[in-house]
């Protein structure tokens, strides 16, 4: 036979769990992650892409490997700063986990070619045959 035990306070009413503080915490976490997500998008958008009339619209199948190159020559891999010497090791690890991941380069429209060429050389030396250059569609 199962025994039931109730928790009674002095007046005889049963105690209840107040979930309002928990809901407040969950709402704060939701707002926090929305803000962080927006900041991540803003950081990624710091590159003004070159315009193009041709090209294919992006179709999202898997998350691509995105290499960013700023006009100052700073490089990033999926939004995190990286040195040229580490790009090969990082991309090799990513491609080992997911071999069909597309590799894209987001270079600022004012970036000199001397900053983009070393990245292309690293990708060529790795045997990556297809590299997508990201542009903005011009009307």
Ordered structural domains, the chain, with CATH? 51-137 (3.30.420.270)
Mean pLDDT of the chain: 80
pLDDT at 47 over 60: yes
Coil, strand, or helix at residue 79?
Answer: coil
Q: Model's pTM, two decimal places?
A: 0.61
Residue 36 CB partners (closer than 8 Å, separation 6+)? none
Q: H-type helices in the chain, by residue range?
A: 20-44, 84-97, 113-126
User: What integer pLDDT is reported at residue 44 of this predicted model?
Assistant: 54
| Nearest-10 crossing angle of helices 113-126, 84-97 | 40
pLDDT digits (tens, 9 = 90+) for 127-137: 888 888 887 87
């Amino acid at each position: 036979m199962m025994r039931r035990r109730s928790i009674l306070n002095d007046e005889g009413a049963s105690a209840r769990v107040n979930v309002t503080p928990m809901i407040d915490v969950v709402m704060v976490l939701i707002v926090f992650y929305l803000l962080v997500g927006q900041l991540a998008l803003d950081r990624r958008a710091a590159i003004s892409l070159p315009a193009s009339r041709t090209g294919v619209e992006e179709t999202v199948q898997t998350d691509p490997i995105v290499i960013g190159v700023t006009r100052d020559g700073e490089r990033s891999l999926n939004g995190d700063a990286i040195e040229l010497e580490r790009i090969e090791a990082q991309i090799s690890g990513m491609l080992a986990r997911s071999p069909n991941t597309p590799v894209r380069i987001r270079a600022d429209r004012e970036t000199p070619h001397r900053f983009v060429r070393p990245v292309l050389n690293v990708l060529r030396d790795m045997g990556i045959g297809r590299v997508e250059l990201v542009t903005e569609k011009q009307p």
